[in-house]
Amino acid sequence: MRSNGCGDLRKEHIDNSVQLCGWVDRRRDHGGVIFIDLRDRTGTVQITVDPDLGAEAFAVAEHLRSETVLQISGKVRARPAESLNEKLATGAVEVLASGITVLNSVKGNLPFPVSVHDEENTREELRLRHRYLDLRRKRMNDNLRLRAQTIQAARRFLEDEGFIEVETPVLTRSTPEGARDYVLPSRVCGGEWFALPQSPQLFKQLLMVGGIERYYQVARCFRDEDLRADRQPEFTQLDIEMSFMDQEEILQLNESLICSIWKAVKGIDLPRPFPRMTWHDAMERYGTDRPDTRYGMELTNVSDIVKDMGFKVFSGAVKNGGAVKCIAVPGGNEALSNVRIKPGGDVFSEAQKAGAGGLAFIRVRDGGEIDTIGAIKDNLSDEQKQELLSRTGAEPGTLLLFGAGDTATVNKALDRVRQYLAKELGMVKADRDNDQWNFLWVVDFPMFEFNSDENRYEALHHPFCAPNAEDLGSDASQWADTLPGARAQAYDLVLNGLELGGGSLRIHDSALQRQVLQTVGLPLEEAQEQFGFLMDALDVGAPPHGGLAFGVDRMVMLLAGEESIRDTIAFPKTQQARCLMTNAPGGVADKQLEELHVASTWVDPTEEDSN
RNA sequence: GGGACCGUAGUUCAACCGGUUAGAGCACCGCCCUGUCACGGCGGAAGUUGCGGGUUCGAAUCCCGUCGGUCCCGCCA
């Protein structure tokens, strides 16, 4: 149907007869001559329709609207010297139309404009309802191309390294721990249920037992949890697993992978090696396991300085086993008024949202004088003051913001305040303009976290991570005691404060695997019932193995400078996990439910009262 | 499950502390215009202010409920 792409035409095509297909981006009617911007996936070119040089085409062109689908035949010619368009890649030429065929027209009003010139803030609800139109817009079209490039670059790298892509089941079984499963009734096996995979974790380990040695998969994963800007109920992981590799080798290989993706997609040579930080340091210095290292304002622990002071908020926190930490905001005295850091202020409420009771502050004035509430000032000795200033590196003009309480809450609150201030004070560029790529490996995660509500240990990562051998010790009879406090051979790749991926070395010893499952509170019989196949597999010569998985949606989001993974997914769901275009989920016929041996107990709350 | 914000013409927005016939840009329709490129000029049509209720002489505006969307907390190994 066409000889060239609209956006491909250049001077060298002058005098060529061409056929083009595409959409009317815009039409400019000068009464005598009509210009049409014709757009296809390659770009836009100007079509000129002259009544003297194509009367039939002119008659059609007179009534064209935006987004009409056209086939155009004509001749490429140079534009007059005074009407070159430097803003357009094809701006040196135009196509003089001899024939215009309308392939399809737009009936009624468009739900929203498509042209790049009209890409204003369209309500996302509308974009999702008419996603096919939204995808036609440059922004989404570009994002999907960028996504394909990203995946393509990963595939090329991994294939070159001897990895093969293996598909794993989408119909699988539910496992305890982790997120809520999407569940699917079995028609054939009445009363039994499939679950959609939260990740291919166990299957990829079994592929290692199966001698694949190097596996990857662009895998769809499913988790029935509430949504966020960076969380969808179905999402895509670049899932990788390999045998006979230690942690260092795995990190190196994945750095190479990331570098080749960034090179292919952004043309950037990332500096190597990526910095590393232990989980413990990350929590201590940033209050989070995924620090954004693009800016400073690290957390300083001042618990020891204030542990005995008269200001009970501080000393009490330390006495109760908590901590007092602070962040130093350079120039904060100038930039942040008291109104903003006191109750009701925007900075204060950030801390509050993270569960903090308050946000104490000290303003450092000229000559190291401090300005703060009396309760702090009156209870701080000169020595303590000096120590505070030197440890935080505070200079005149610096604002110190303090969190006090249990350590987890303090970390959470100050992490949140730190991120908020970085944006507020312009320490990071807007996502759209970001050109800083601060990768960071966070290593040495703890194996477990104690859940005080349920009075048991939970796997921080998942219960298949291999513990650090030193922490575990060689005496298997001691594992029940050494395991809970052990570090895992687990690692996360963090980019600009977002978790891009994570993984670990896996347990390849069935006895150790049983012990870990017991530690997270799974009785032996249940472990056998749920994971017997895994333990059996480990007993037939499982190789040492490990791997990781990257969040493809997030990676593309960062590469595209978007703030939501919905803008990297062709057909995403809303926060209510609904598709506004197809209106899924929807009802099914009673007969279908019968066949599945399922009855619904759902009661429409709006009709509940009538009973 | 909880907190916050949003919903006005096809669309993007406006309409102060409740007060004439709810306005504007773009899009749409008609007319004019032979070098524009987010063309320009003149004119026109277009609204159950998401929906339901309440307060009031009077509601887009205030209150309650509800539906939908977004952000966040919980949740997400």
Nearest by Cα to A494 from A421, A445, A426, A459 = A445
Q: How far is the CA of A581 from the C1' of B49 (A)?
A: 25
Q: How far is the CA of A50 from the C1' of B33 (A)?
A: 14
Residue A97 has pLDDT above 90, yes or no: yes
ipTM of the complex in this document: 0.94
Q: Give nearest nucleotide to A549 (CA–C1').
A: B77
- Name the closest residue (CA) to the C1' of nucleotide B34: A32
pLDDT digits (tens, 9 = 90+) for A398-434: 999 999 999 999 999 999 999 999 988 989 998 889 9
Q: Which long-range contacts (CB under 8 A, 24 or more apart) does A339-345 make?
A: A341/A399, A341/A401
Q: Give the DSSP H/E element, type plus range, for residue A185.
A: strand A183-185
**A490, A445 Cβ separation under 8 angstroms:** yes
Q: Give nearest nucleotide to A180 (CA–C1').
A: B76
Q: How far is the CA of A583 from the C1' of B5 (A)?
A: 25
Q: Mean of the pLDDT values across residues A445-453?
A: 88
pLDDT digits (tens, 9 = 90+) for A505-533: 999 999 999 999 999 988 999 999 999 99
Residue A550 has pLDDT above 60, yes or no: yes
CA angle A233, A238, A241 (to 5 degrees): 120
Q: How far is the CA of A215 from the C1' of B37 (A)?
A: 51
**A224, A181 Cβ separation under 8 angstroms:** yes
pLDDT at A607: 56
pLDDT at A605: 65
Q: How far is the CA of A122 from the C1' of B10 (A)?
A: 12
A96-to-A33, A43, A52, A208 alpha-carbon distances in Å: 11, 17, 11, 61
How far is residue A402's CA from residue A314's CA, in Å, rounded to a whole number? 9
Residue A225 annotated as lining a ligand binding site: yes
The CB density around residue A566, as the number of other CB atoms within 10 Å, is 21
Q: Give the DSSP H/E element, type plus range, for residue A306.
A: helix A303-306
Q: Which domains are seen in chain A, by residue range?
A: 11-104 (2.40.50.140), 295-427 (3.30.1360.30), 446-487+509-542 (no CATH)
Residue A432 annotated as lining a ligand binding site: no
Q: Give nearest nucleotide to A50 (CA–C1').
A: B34
pLDDT digits (tens, 9 = 90+) for A268-299: 999 999 999 999 999 999 999 999 999 999 99
**A384, A306 Cβ separation under 8 angstroms:** yes
The CB density around residue A89, as the number of other CB atoms within 10 Å, is 16
Q: Give the DSSP H/E element, type plus range, for residue A600.
A: none
Mean pLDDT estimate for chain A: 94
Q: Mean of the pLDDT values across residues A14-23?
A: 98
Q: Give the DSSP H/E element, type plus range, for residue A516.
A: helix A510-519
Q: Give nearest nucleotide to A85 (CA–C1').
A: B37
Q: Give nearest nucleotide to A463 (CA–C1').
A: B77
A552-to-A230, A231, A406 alpha-carbon distances in Å: 11, 12, 35
Residue A394 has pLDDT above 50, yes or no: yes
Q: Mean of the pLDDT values across residues A23-33?
A: 95
Nearest by Cα to A89 from A46, A51, A60 = A46
Q: Mean of the pLDDT values across residues A113-135?
A: 93
Q: How far is the CA of A23 from the C1' of B45 (A)?
A: 27
pLDDT at A54: 87
What the block records as the tokens of A100 is 């215009």
pLDDT at A609: 43
DSSP letter for A466, please. Answer: P
**A354, A415 Cβ separation under 8 angstroms:** yes
Q: Give nearest nucleotide to A221 (CA–C1').
A: B76
Q: Give nearest nucleotide to A224 (CA–C1').
A: B76
Q: How far is the CA of A607 from the C1' of B63 (A)?
A: 25
**Helix A247-266 × helix A138-160 angle, to 10°:** 140
- Name the closest residue (CA) to the C1' of nucleotide B73: A353
What is the DSSP track for A553-581?
Answer: HHHHHHHHT-S-GGGGSSS---TTS--TT
Q: How far is the CA of A420 from the C1' of B72 (A)?
A: 13
Q: For residue A330, with 0-12 CB atoms within 10 Å meaning exposed, 13-18 middle and 19 or more buried, which class applies?
A: middle
Q: Give nearest nucleotide to A412 (CA–C1').
A: B73
- Name the closest residue (CA) to the C1' of nucleotide B1: A226
State the pLDDT confidence band at A608, using cuts at 50, 70 and 90. very low
pLDDT digits (tens, 9 = 90+) for A561-591: 999 999 999 999 999 999 999 999 999 999 9
Bases on strand B under 7 Å from any protein CB = 1, 10-13, 25-30, 32-40, 66-77
**A370, A381 Cβ separation under 8 angstroms:** no
Q: What's the order of all strands across the beta sheet hosting A164-165? A: A164-165, A214-222, A234-243, A545-551, A498-505, A490-495, A439-443, A276-278
- Name the closest residue (CA) to the C1' of nucleotide B68: A125
Residue A499 annotated as lining a ligand binding site: yes
pLDDT at A606: 59
DSSP letter for A166, please. Answer: -
Q: How far is the CA of A580 from the C1' of B59 (A)?
A: 32
**A520, A448 Cβ separation under 8 angstroms:** yes
pLDDT digits (tens, 9 = 90+) for A38-81: 999 999 999 999 999 989 999 999 999 999 999 999 999 999 99
Q: How far is the CA of A130 from the C1' of B69 (A)?
A: 14
pLDDT at A590: 94
Residue A223 annotated as lining a ligand binding site: yes
Residue A232 annotated as lining a ligand binding site: yes
How far is residue A285's CA from residue A439's CA, in Å, rounded to a whole number? 16
- Name the closest residue (CA) to the C1' of nucleotide B3: A353
Nearest by Cα to A104 from A21, A20, A216 = A21
Residue A552 annotated as lining a ligand binding site: yes
pLDDT at A178: 84
Q: For residue A594, with 0-12 CB atoms within 10 Å meaning exposed, 13-18 middle and 19 or more buried, which class applies?
A: exposed
- Name the closest residue (CA) to the C1' of nucleotide B13: A121
Q: Give the DSSP H/E element, type plus range, for residue A460.
A: none
How far is residue A18's CA from residue A39's CA, in Å, rounded to a whole number? 15
The CB density around residue A90, as the number of other CB atoms within 10 Å, is 25
Beta strands A399-405; A370-371: pairing state: unpaired
Helices (H), A164-246: 201-209
State the pLDDT confidence band at A601, using cuts at 50, 70 and 90. confident
Q: Mean of the pLDDT values across residues A177-205?
A: 94
Q: Mean of the pLDDT values across residues A245-258?
A: 98
State the pLDDT confidence band at A343, using cuts at 50, 70 and 90. confident
pTM of the model: 0.94
For a pLDDT cut of 70, what percent of chain A falls above it?
A: 99
What the block records as the tokens of A554 is 């997030």
How far is residue A310's CA from residue A374's CA, in Å, rounded to a whole number? 11
How far is residue A228's CA from residue A499's CA, in Å, rounded to a whole number? 14
Q: How distant is the alpha carbon of residue A551 from its chain centre?
A: 6
Residue A506 annotated as lining a ligand binding site: yes
Q: How far is the CA of A106 from the C1' of B20 (A)?
A: 40
Nearest 10 degrees: Cα torsion A347, A352, A355, A361:
60
pLDDT at A611: 34
Q: Give nearest nucleotide to A112 (CA–C1').
A: B11
